[in-house]
Amino acid sequence: MGLRGLVVRGLLKPGDQIPPIRNLAEQLFVNPNTIARAYRELALEGFLDSKKGEGNYISAKPVKAVNNGLGVARQHLLESLRAAHRSGLTWKEIQLLLQLAKSEEES
């Protein structure tokens, strides 16, 4: 799960410090440059506040945007489900597709 997901679920809040690049890279078994690039992108989006010598912190403003984005995602999903049903898929088939998507994400 990404940082945005952790924020949406309330596991990270504005002002919380995120793990240092090297620590996270070691935990995820990825190159530290990959983590650094992701942190830079999140900082450019305004999602992270970087304090030189202190680390990176979750910013308050984008947290609102993430939560608003979640509402938009829900609305798009509902519209897509309704369109799929109108196109001929049964609700049972849609439910099976949702279960398939969930199992693929969890593995």
pLDDT bucket at 88, cuts 50 / 70 / 90: very high
What's residue 72's pLDDT? 75
- Over residues 23-76, the pLDDT tens digits come to 999 999 999 999 999 999 888 878 888 888 889 999 887 666 666 666 778 889
Domain limits, the chain: 3-62, 68-106
| Highest CATH level, class, for 3-62 | mainly alpha
The pTM is what?
Answer: 0.57
Gap between the terminal Cα atoms of the chain: 12
What's residue 102's pLDDT? 93
Residue with tokens 């439910």: 95
Q: What is the chain's Cα-based Rg? A: 18
Q: At 41, which helix (H) or strand (E)?
A: helix 32-44
Spatial separation of the C-alpha atoms in residues 82 and 3, rounded to whole Å: 30
